[in-house]
Amino acid sequence: MIRFGLPGEEARLLQDTAERFVADRYGLAQRAVMLARPPQEAPAHWREMAALGWLAAPLPRGVGGLGMAPVHLQGLLETLGAGLILEPYGPAIMNCAATLSRLLPRAQAAGALAPMLAGDRVEVLAASPMGQALVQAEPEGDGWALSGTVPLVPGGAAAHAFWVAVDCGAESALAHVPASKAQVRGFRLVDGQAAASACFDGVSCGPRACFTGAADALAHGADMGLWAALAETSGLIGALCRATLDHVKLRQQFGRPIGRFQVVQHRMADMYMHTEEARSMAQLTAEALEEKDAGVRRRLLSAARVKTDAAARAVLRDAVQLHGGMGMTDELAVGHMVKRLLVLAQTGGSRAAHLKRFQASG
Amino acid sequence: MIRFGLPGEEARLLQDTAERFVADRYGLAQRAVMLARPPQEAPAHWREMAALGWLAAPLPRGVGGLGMAPVHLQGLLETLGAGLILEPYGPAIMNCAATLSRLLPRAQAAGALAPMLAGDRVEVLAASPMGQALVQAEPEGDGWALSGTVPLVPGGAAAHAFWVAVDCGAESALAHVPASKAQVRGFRLVDGQAAASACFDGVSCGPRACFTGAADALAHGADMGLWAALAETSGLIGALCRATLDHVKLRQQFGRPIGRFQVVQHRMADMYMHTEEARSMAQLTAEALEEKDAGVRRRLLSAARVKTDAAARAVLRDAVQLHGGMGMTDELAVGHMVKRLLVLAQTGGSRAAHLKRFQASG
Amino acid sequence: MTDLLNSPEDIAFRREIRDFVAAELNPDTRDRIRRGAPLRHEDIARWHKSMYRKGWVAPTWPVQHGGAGWSARQRLIADEELFRLHTPPLPNFGPRMIGPILIRFGSRAQQQRFLPAILSGADWWCQGFSEPGAGSDLASLTTRAVPTDGGWIVTGAKTWTTFAQHANRMFCLVRTDGQVKKQEGISMMLIDMDAPGVSRRPIRLMDGTEEVNEILLDQVFVPCGMVVGEVNRGWTYAKALLEGERLGIGGIGRCKHLLGRVRHMAQGADDALADARLAELEIDIMALEATTLRLLAAAEAGVPLGAETSLLKIRGTEIQQALTELMLDIAGPAALVPVAAGSNEDVFENVVCQFLNWRKLSIYGGSNEIQRTILAGQVLGL
Amino acid sequence: MTDLLNSPEDIAFRREIRDFVAAELNPDTRDRIRRGAPLRHEDIARWHKSMYRKGWVAPTWPVQHGGAGWSARQRLIADEELFRLHTPPLPNFGPRMIGPILIRFGSRAQQQRFLPAILSGADWWCQGFSEPGAGSDLASLTTRAVPTDGGWIVTGAKTWTTFAQHANRMFCLVRTDGQVKKQEGISMMLIDMDAPGVSRRPIRLMDGTEEVNEILLDQVFVPCGMVVGEVNRGWTYAKALLEGERLGIGGIGRCKHLLGRVRHMAQGADDALADARLAELEIDIMALEATTLRLLAAAEAGVPLGAETSLLKIRGTEIQQALTELMLDIAGPAALVPVAAGSNEDVFENVVCQFLNWRKLSIYGGSNEIQRTILAGQVLGL
């Protein structure tokens, strides 16, 4: 049931804190320093984010989380997205931790999640963007022998362990592999986010590290991870739109601010509409995540990916264009936002993949 | 070999004559009178067009034509397109007569075409828009028994006879059927052009009216018919663009001509670009029709249909929009042009069909 | 399409509407609407009677004036269901346009005289705003009202007057003071269509219909009591009237109705590009609806709605126009043949007509260019 | 793609180019270009030497100045073939920009000094037009030249100066008279990059490259002989320079090269929508080429080319940007991973970089907004 309420007090407080966090920690110069560090280093403000309760926020109370619903987290995620944060909040928390909260029995989940939510440990999923297995598992004793490579593991460079989606025949399954046992190559994606490729050839998993019947948990994690990307995108589109609006109000050409030209005004109106629609879809899907019917949930999420992608593209094109040459440089936030949008557009599955899923669900 | 020459003296004379013809014969009020006539009547100025040499112009000299190449006819067709003429020049001459000029032995073709090119007789093809057979032919004595209906025969309401593309097994074939033997229902299409549906159930064709091995002739006629539609469309797009330009220069809103608003100026620039590109594609395909390689010829024709359709759509949308409410009425030429564009867009095969053909030819 | 408004109360309200329509709607009318056929006056009039008996003619009016008393949320649901069930849309001019204005700004005498007749269908209204020389630039209108004994003498011309052929009354903007800034000298008057000096010339549209008209006013006497509110404040009332039901402006019900028709047409066509386009448009409708509901939530929480609703108008009309264009693609040549010829499939019969007619959506009610200028100016401060 | 220019002479000329390239082009350079890798200075310099030996550095110059002496038709063919064969594009600044201007407007001394060095590659030029405060509004530039004994003292800042790091000379617009209409007080000067007072700050672009720079001019002495043509007529020369090779502005060769790359990427992807988009873009390139050839025919018949060529710039850049966007779609997440990580397929390695870098196409050389205004004003008379 879709309610479309306004954000509550708690959500507003969370967003206010996030805005201060971004203002204090994520100036472009501060961010440049972080970008120059090796991707294998622990995420810069991860413990602080844990202390603020952000890592625990989306997870159920029973497993050590704060049990905040997505509708109440949208403001936080939009702000972190607009702030271009480099910490792996999406992959480690919204995607991986959410998966574990469904996969493991409650006590075991609480135990596994405790160090993650405290910011002491980073664990991420190793799978395709939509949660499919890219690694093979063959029976070996009571456990599995793995083989295969996941070329892109968001947040993987600094991960202590991977939850590897494996193909072991019919069942949907996960293998828990310490980073030390895999061949991990850390790098930064075009937007500066730390990621890795991880090769699992020759990795053996004992029976306690093998988990079958993971379909529902993986799907839940994929839903949450996609939604987080959509909410971040929504925040980022809004920030790009605001930055462009500020620019066209100030930038003088032909004797007046370029925002006085009708063509620029209408382009800004288009950007505004895209911003509003992206936010609507983020909110719609936040509500949809509480929807019982998985078909409806996935259908709305796929729709949101398609619409948000169109919005992001249009806005990034126009933002660069209206900034002129300055929009092409690495010196303004615009360029960094554009690169982040390109990465978010692939996070949780591309527009094309979700358009297909949407059509198939009709 | 594509030459892209400028139109020669002969072509310019032809176009000048056409411009005078349109100015004298095709005022909106004159056209309204023609539209009120039953579609079965002989086309209004058909004999005059014959006397001007237009009907014979595109056909080879050997069969009684003037042997003018498409490049020299482009100006004529653009002018007749822009003038919204109601005579079946495309279906009867460019499509049907061109087919016959290839189908029949030279002397027989000359005989069959003579009354058509003199304006005494109208004959048209009954087939799908891209020349496929919609009618079945079963052997019956030395000839065929036909069955089936062609729901849309351009120019068919006033036709004296049909050349029916028939499916008689493997071979591509045509059956020559007098209109009196078919069940013909004449009507006007949305643009006012006379057309018909023609049912051939129970029609018997004697052996002299059956023609096999028609593949090459049908393809040639389809090429010529499509090209004529593209050239007419090009002329019409140009006329719509000019009418809109005149309107925005005159129409006052908010204290100045709307053509002074930057958004309108840029929209007009877009319309201008579409106009130029449509004309380029008409000229390119006029040249391509003399290309020996049928693959290249068809590929360019299909490309031209796709591009011209996009141009026509964009221009008709913007032309109506910039005319405001006045563009919605039946009282200006704009609305008539829009309706003619919708019909031309389907003549010789739709954008979707030609995009597929283009892709398959790659 | 997925219904986004689906709380238990929403579902119960939907059911009430469905039951009502199932009991009341003439099947022939339903069929015409389903096929996108042009509206006939008798279909609308008959359906108006049913809605009147049910008390649903005026969704926005308070109950004490005979309105349905629906919340904004209920109005959105009703719009959606009534379109979904192929009911003919009632004209806006009485119930949604002049009615609310009379309730807000009209005299008690005007309310008593006109409101019940709007509800019952005894009066049909038309709108006299646009003029041949003043389309998007409405404020530059030149129809003049000169004061006379007990009223005004009005002379001028109005145009694009939809369904004036069925109307017995017109609300009208006229210039009552030519000496002040152009917005400040305008008044709103209520004119009888059979008053001496009123004449009508139908305007034939390119789709062949005659739904709009030019209205000539030749020294028409309008009594003082037929001025709405204060003299020279007509611009304020006109703006309030045009803003009308801001959340409904996107036409979500109409979008979904059209989508259903196109989907029906596309069945079995096996065209991957058209199918993808249809899915994109369905998603566009979802985004329009989600945005509407977000604004609804704000409105329900007491945040006043402003110019941002222009985005609903722009997107709603873009979607509807795109759907009619997709119809053309899917129908192909079958759409070009007139119904009378009987040779085309029933399903495509009104495709060209609707494509042509729907071009108006981006022109009227403030063209989409005007709407973008409003967003840039009033929302973005440019 | 179908070659539209294919007369026997055209085919012979194409063959001459192919033979030359096959003999001269370094395979490593070819491979980098094929993959869309950022250009390296050494690749360009080496290829420049080959082209110099062949006499093909300056397509538009007359033969007596050492140019290739090609017709407009040959220039279009050469552009297409050189791109098709993955040769590195030579910088425009010397051969295509300042060279033709010096031939038309320069002094004999300037021609003798600079033209041979442009051909040989001894001199590399950069362009000093844009300023931090004057981008699209070029005429509002503020770099000042004050007359002094034997020359001028120039102070100001230039920006977006492409490849200034490789250049030893700059042609530059400066204000020599601040009292007149802004276009009338501008002169064009030739400045040595190692002159005292010239300094350079590289600007890092979002794609990670440093191809553009800011150039600071701090009381730089420019001798009288280094003013092009007449003082205060620089705006005229700048316009002639920017109009340059009007028919080549669409970048047909570049479009086809890019299309080939995208087609290669799309092989085996089995994505009907991407395939259809690719076909549409191939058709767009045909239309661009057909329009170019139509203008070429007019030019060959002596009709002067005017502002209508703005349409070639708009369409050419739209096509190229659309192709880089389609690349992103086809590559998917593989495009996001840096090459150094070695984990992505070679074919996608420069996709994001090129997408980002190509955003500039619609901004520089007169933004596409400026081009539309030119079409509306100069061609349509609005």
H/E stretch holding D187 reads strand D186-192
Contacts of A261 in chain B (CB under 8 A): 262
Place of tokens 């643009």: B191
pLDDT at B78 over 70: yes
Contacts of C273 in chain D (CB under 8 A): 272-273, 276
Provide CATH 1.20.140.10 ranges for chain C: 250-378
Residues A205 and A290 in one domain: no
* Per-residue confidence (pLDDT) for residue D343, from 0 to 100: 39
Judged by a CB distance cut-off of 8 A, whether residue B266 touches chain A is: yes
Residue A95's CATH number: 1.10.540.10
Cβ atoms of A260 and C292 closer than 8 Å: no
Flag whether A171 is in a domain.
yes
The chain D residue lying nearest B263, using CA atoms, is D373
Residues A101 and A134 in one domain: no
Q: Which amino acid is at A24?
A: D
Cβ atoms of C186 and C236 closer than 8 Å: no
Q: Are residues B6 and D301, on separate chains, in Cβ contact within 8 Å? A: yes
Q: Are residues D337 and A327, on separate chains, in Cβ contact within 8 Å? A: no
Q: Report how far residue D316's alpha carbon sits from residue D83's, in angstroms, rounded to the nearest whole number.
A: 15
Contacts of A266 in chain C (CB under 8 A): 369, 372-373, 376
Q: Are residues B325 and C274, on separate chains, in Cβ contact within 8 Å? A: no
Provide CATH 2.40.110.10 ranges for chain C: 123-233
Q: Are residues C205 and B330, on separate chains, in Cβ contact within 8 Å? A: yes
Burial class from Cβ neighbours inside 10 Å (0-12, 13-18, 19+) for residue A33 reads exposed
Nearest chain D Cα distance for residue B248, angstroms: 9
Which two tokens mark C10? 């929403």
Mean pLDDT, rounded, for A176-180: 98
- D26-80 confidence digits (pLDDT tens): 999 998 888 888 778 899 999 999 999 999 999 989 999 999 989 888 998 999 9
pLDDT at C347 over 70: no
The chain A residue lying nearest B267, using CA atoms, is A263
Q: Are residues D341 and A350, on separate chains, in Cβ contact within 8 Å? A: no
CA distances from D155 to A272, B13, D172 (A): 41, 61, 12
Judged by a CB distance cut-off of 8 A, whether residue C12 touches chain A is: no
Query: Of the residues B65, B100, B117, which one is the last residue of a structural domain?
Result: B117
Residue A231's CATH number: 1.20.140.10
Q: Are residues A273 and C311, on separate chains, in Cβ contact within 8 Å? A: yes
Confidence of residue D344 (pLDDT cuts 50, 70, 90): very low
Mean pLDDT of chain B: 95
Flag whether B1 is in a domain.
no
Contacts of A262 in chain B (CB under 8 A): 261-263
Contacts of C272 in chain D (CB under 8 A): 272-273
Mutate to test the interface with D, among B277, B279, B296 (most CBs of D within 10 A): B277
Other C-beta atoms within 10 Å of B9: how many? Answer: 8
Judged by a CB distance cut-off of 8 A, whether residue C271 touches chain B is: yes
* Per-residue confidence (pLDDT) for residue D340, from 0 to 100: 56
Flag whether B198 is in a domain.
yes
pLDDT at D177 over 90: yes
Report the predicted TM-score, pTM, of the whole model to 2 decimal places.
0.95
Q: Report how far residue C220's alpha carbon sits from residue C196's, in angstroms, rounded to the nearest whole number.
A: 6
Residues B206 and B238 in one domain: no
Architecture of the domain whose range is D250-378? Up-down Bundle (1.20)
Helices in chain D by DSSP H: which ranges? 8-24, 27-34, 41-54, 72-84, 99-105, 108-120, 234-243, 252-266, 272-300, 310-331, 351-358, 368-374
Give the residue among B190, B195, B54, B97 at the shortest CA–CA distance from B45: B54
Nearest chain B Cα distance for residue D213, angstroms: 32
* Per-residue confidence (pLDDT) for residue C343, from 0 to 100: 39
Give the residue among A90, A65, A73 at the shortest CA–CA distance from A17: A73
Residues B229 and B299 in one domain: yes
Query: Of the residues B165, B185, B214, which one is the last residue of a structural domain?
Result: B214
Cβ atoms of C159 and C127 closer than 8 Å: no
Range of the domain at B19: 9-117
Residues B107 and B26 in one domain: yes
Asked if ipTM goes beyond 0.90, one says yes
- B332-353 confidence digits (pLDDT tens): 999 999 999 999 999 999 999 9
- Nearest CB among D4, D315, D382 relative to B265 is that of D382
Question: Between residues A92 and D34, which one has the greater pLDDT?
Answer: A92
pLDDT at C137 over 60: yes
Mutate to test the interface with A, among B263, B264, B266 (most CBs of A within 10 A): B263
The answer for residues whose C-beta is within 8 angstroms of residue C9's C-beta and 6 or more apart is none
Centroid of chain to Cα A247: 28
A249-253, B350-354, C170-174, D206-210: least confident range: D206-210
pLDDT at C341 over 60: no
pLDDT at A160 over 70: yes
Flag whether B3 is in a domain.
no
Q: Which residues 126-185 in chain D show a CB within 8 A of chain A? A: 130, 133-137, 140, 159-160
* Per-residue confidence (pLDDT) for residue B141, from 0 to 100: 93
- Nearest CB among D4, D286, D315 relative to B273 is that of D315
Place of tokens 């493997």: B170
Mutate to test the interface with D, among C273, C275, C277, C329 (most CBs of D within 10 A): C273
Mutate to test the interface with C, among A284, A293, A307, A318 (most CBs of C within 10 A): A284
Query: Of the residues A67, A88, A117, which one is the last residue of a structural domain?
Result: A117
The chain A residue lying nearest D131, using CA atoms, is A325
Which two tokens mark A237? 């589109």
Residues A280 and A337 in one domain: yes
* Per-residue confidence (pLDDT) for residue C339, from 0 to 100: 63
- Nearest CB among C276, C284, C382 relative to A265 is that of C382
Give the residue among B331, B317, B123 at the shortest CA–CA distance from C202: B331
- C243-296 confidence digits (pLDDT tens): 777 788 889 999 999 999 999 999 888 889 999 999 999 999 999 999 999 998
The chain A residue lying nearest B264, using CA atoms, is A263
Residues A264 and A131 in one domain: no
Q: Are residues A280 and C298, on separate chains, in Cβ contact within 8 Å? A: no
Other C-beta atoms within 10 Å of C27: how many? Answer: 8
CA distances from B64 to B70, B116, B208, D279 (A): 17, 10, 22, 40
Which two tokens mark C273? 């590009």
Q: What SS3 class is residue A140?
A: strand
Nearest chain C Cα distance for residue D279, angstroms: 13
Judged by a CB distance cut-off of 8 A, whether residue D287 touches chain B is: yes
Q: Which CATH number fits domain C123-233: 3.40.50.2000, 2.40.110.10, 2.30.250.10, 3.40.50.1820?
A: 2.40.110.10
H/E stretch holding D148 reads strand D144-148
Half-sphere exposure of C156 (CA within 13 A, CB side): 24
pLDDT at C342 over 50: no
Count the helices and strands in chain C (H runs, E runs): 12, 7
Q: How many domains does chain A have?
A: 3
Confidence of residue C346 (pLDDT cuts 50, 70, 90): low
Residue B149's CATH number: 2.40.110.10
Place of tokens 């204005």: C101
Give the residue among C178, C104, C93 at the shortest CA–CA distance from C129: C93
Mutate to test the interface with A, among B248, B258, B260, B262 (most CBs of A within 10 A): B262
Half-sphere exposure of C271 (CA within 13 A, CB side): 24
Judged by a CB distance cut-off of 8 A, whether residue A227 touches chain C is: no
Contacts of D325 in chain A (CB under 8 A): 313
Q: Are residues B328 and C205, on separate chains, in Cβ contact within 8 Å? A: yes
Residues A186 and A83 in one domain: no
Contacts of A327 in chain D (CB under 8 A): 359, 363
- C314-323 confidence digits (pLDDT tens): 999 999 999 9
Judged by a CB distance cut-off of 8 A, whether residue A261 touches chain C is: no
CA distances from D204 to C79, C346, D162 (A): 54, 62, 12
Q: Where are the beta strands (DSSP E) in chain B?
A: 123-126, 135-140, 143-147, 149-154, 161-167, 172-178, 183-188, 194-199, 204-205, 210-212, 252-253, 256-257
- A39-54 confidence digits (pLDDT tens): 999 999 999 999 999 9
Q: Are residues B4 and D297, on separate chains, in Cβ contact within 8 Å? A: yes
Angle between helical axes of D272-300 and D252-266 (0-180°, round to 10): 160
Q: How many CB pairs under 8 A join A and D?
A: 116
The chain C residue lying nearest D273, using CA atoms, is C273
Residues A255 and A352 in one domain: yes
Chains that touch A (3 or more CB pairs under 8 A): B, C, D
List C128's β-bridge partners, or say none.
C172
Q: Are residues A152 and D333, on separate chains, in Cβ contact within 8 Å? A: yes
* Per-residue confidence (pLDDT) for residue A171, from 0 to 100: 81
Q: Report how far residue B192's alpha carbon sits from residue B343's, in angstroms, rounded to the nearest whole number.
A: 10
Cα angle value B37/B40/B41 (rounded, 5°): 60
* Per-residue confidence (pLDDT) for residue C40, from 0 to 100: 84
Flag whether A44 is in a domain.
yes
